[in-house]
């Protein structure tokens, strides 16, 4: 009983995470294709910046 509750809770948490990310992507592209491309580019640039910075330490 306890294992099934934990498994169900885990599955619901995963589904919630994926559904909210899909909704966010949908909202970004509703605002316009170029704004979506710019936002994705900025996120990728930040990730590359932080990875490069962590390797220098």
Domain coverage including residue 7? 2-56
Interatomic CA distance for residues 20 and 31, integer angstroms: 17
What share of the chain in percent tops pLDDT 70? 81
Residue 44 pLDDT grade (very low, low, confident, very high; cuts 50, 70, 90): very high
Taking CB atoms within 8 Å and a gap of at least 24, the contacts of 49-52 are none
Q: How many domains is the chain built from?
A: 1
Can you give the pLDDT at residue 1? Answer: 61
Q: Is the pLDDT of residue 29 over 90?
A: no
């Amino acid at each position: 009983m306890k294992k099934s509750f934990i498994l169900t809770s885990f599955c619901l948490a995963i589904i919630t995470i994926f559904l909210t990310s899909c909704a966010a992507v949908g909202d970004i592209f509703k605002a316009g294709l170029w704004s979506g491309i710019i936002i994705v580019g900025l996120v990728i640039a930040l990730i590359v910046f932080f990875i490069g910075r962590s390797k220098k330490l």
